[in-house]
Amino acid sequence: MASRIANVFARNTRALSSAAAESVRAPIQVFGIEGRYAHALYSASTKAGSAELIEEQLNAFQGAIGSVAGLKEYLSLPVCSREEKKATLAGAFSEAGMDPLINNMISVMLDNKRANKISSVVRAFGTIMAAQRGEVPCKVTSAAPLSEANVETLKESLGKFLKGNEKLLLETATDESLIGGMVVEIGDKRVDMSTATKIKKLKASLALPL
């Protein structure tokens, strides 16, 4: 699937008219439909030397989807034809100076009725680019906001699991339903140390027959 999408990019983009070689291997594997599109875009953009620019422009497009009233709904609206949507976006992308690869990818996604996956593809592409820079995203969710001292302690502790060329990107969030403790998500791993989960496990244990 990814190679097929990459071939579509190559056929429709002058800059890649001679790019018929094998796909460029990404530094990390992202699974799912969004991963297939993201890997194809990464391969094509890396060959063109525009991966960083495309990441920046994709993030801008994602911001527009979230801020421009009606844009998200328009992309998935069945009463508007795919050709109309592609023409509208092509005009907007051209006016904004967006890389042609982005327009090609969105067009392919519209043809394949995958408009609802655009935001997921943007995130997947960002994950690949972050891995290329050696960045390791980590999200820590706690029942109450963490103090600066706690955040620094977390960074120090989590940093011990990184390789020499990796950089921790720590994001914190709060969720009162956790009651206490925290949930740590780093890379593809998830560690639940919340009080809510401990209580749930305790209740399950007490429900077992003696």
Residue 112 burial (10 A CB sphere; 0-12, 13-18, 19+): middle
pLDDT > 50? residue 16? no
pLDDT of residue 160: 87
pLDDT of residue 63: 92
pLDDT of residue 7: 52
Question: What percent of the chain has a predicted confidence (pLDDT) above 70?
Answer: 88
pTM for the model: 0.68
Q: Which two tokens stand for residue 169?
A: 């990107």
pLDDT of residue 15: 40
Interior angle at CA 134, CA 131 and CA 136, nearest 5: 70
pLDDT > 90? residue 119? yes
